[in-house]
Amino acid sequence: MDNRPILAITMGDAAGIGPEIIVKALARPQVQALCRPLVIGDVGIIEDHLRYWRGKESVGRPSIHATATPEEAEWRPEVINVLQPGPPLGRIEPGKLSPVAGRGAVSYVKAAVSLAKERRVQGIVTAPLNKEAMHRAGFHYPGHTELLAKEFGVARYSLVLTARGLFVFHVTTHVSLRQAIDLITKERVLDQIRLAHLLAVALGQASEVIAVAGLNPHAGEGGLFGTEERDIIRPAVAAALEEGIPVEGPLPADVVFPKAAAGRYRFVVAMYHDQGHAVFKSLFFNEGVNITVGLPVIRTSVDHGTAFDIAGKGVAREDSLVHAVELAARLGPKWKQIWHQVQSLV
């Protein structure tokens, strides 16, 4: 009986580094030991990228097994199982924007979601897609996270960045900074605090204090530099405390993140995309992982983009994808508990 979870690994944009890092990641013994990887993508593209395989010479290059279903896959280390949900993409030039590649990337995500809904895979791991290519193909989602949320039919979710035990939640993500400020409400901040606590509980860290960043310089300096902390964020923190959640804030962002980097906080709620991402990626660019909390199955992803500038050159690093697979395999068995509690928030 093979108890390793089946993880759907979506190829992302074929013109980016997704196919390369997938092949490199699957050459890692720990990936094969932790899960049964099912690549959702283009058979020809993955086969073409086998030139980047870094397995032991004694093993040699793996073979590609094109499978129509997870049940027909061949779970052996020397085989890469690829499920292609549609016709082949054809020739895709690395590093060049392609609506065809954008359409393919969306189709891979949708196929993975369908398998997850049918409980035929236990988690989803995504390689990066290109938002402009996706939009040119006619799919106007702000990003991967919103596409997944739409396909699963969920309204409450959070983009979470993690590395070395640090988890950064975001109240707003893929919107302009001007829009982000308008979207910050007591309810949205409270939702992120609750989601952070649910993840902490699932990880056995229920007593960990959740640090909530302020929006304005010096967390508003008592209203001198803005009133969002007084009118929105502080009431959300107070409501969370009444629910028994250990939380502090609003704290100046330039205080929260240095303390988090030093280990003082493990769970941080950022107010907008770059407030969390800029610091996190400065510290953990090659090892960070993106988790979507609020979906009915575990979804993890690399925390970088398609890297068109290095696509097709064989120099992309697979570390973030390896960490994403490891985290999905680790959290997958606990995800039902997280999902049920998220449902109670709706």
pLDDT score recorded for residue 11: 97
Residue ranges in the chain whose pLDDT is less than 50: 56-58
What single-letter amino acid sits at 283? Answer: L
Tell me, rounded to whole angstroms, the distance of Cα 329 from its chain centroid.
14
Whole-angstrom Cα distance, residue 63 to residue 10? Answer: 18
Among 333, 326, 335, smallest CA distance to 296 is for 335
Residue keyed to tokens 């970088």:
304
Whole-angstrom Cα distance, residue 305 to residue 95? Answer: 12
pLDDT score recorded for residue 335: 84
> What fold characterizes domain 1-155+293-334?
Isopropylmalate Dehydrogenase (3.40.718)
pLDDT tens per residue, range 251-289:
999 999 999 999 999 999 999 999 999 999 898 877 889
> Does this chain's domain 1-155+293-334 share its CATH topology with 165-286?
yes
**Over the Cα atoms of the chain, what is R_g?**
20
Helices (H), the chain: 18-26, 29-34, 43-48, 99-117, 131-136, 144-152, 177-183, 186-202, 228, 234-242, 253-261, 273-284, 319-331, 335-343
pLDDT score recorded for residue 345: 60
Sign of CA dihedral 236, 269, 251, 243: positive
Whole-angstrom Cα distance, residue 221 to residue 124? Answer: 42
Coil/strand/helix, residue 217: helix
State yes or no: cis peptide before 250, omega within 30 of 0. yes
Which DSSP string corresponds to 57-122? TTT-PPEEEE-SSGGG----TTEEEEE--SS------TTS--HHHHHHHHHHHHHHHHHHHTTSSS
Domain ranges within the chain, ordered by starting residue: 1-155+293-334, 165-286
pLDDT score recorded for residue 344: 66
For the domain spanning 165-286, the CATH number is: 3.40.718.10
**Encoding tokens for residue 32?**
């094969």
Coil/strand/helix, residue 165: coil
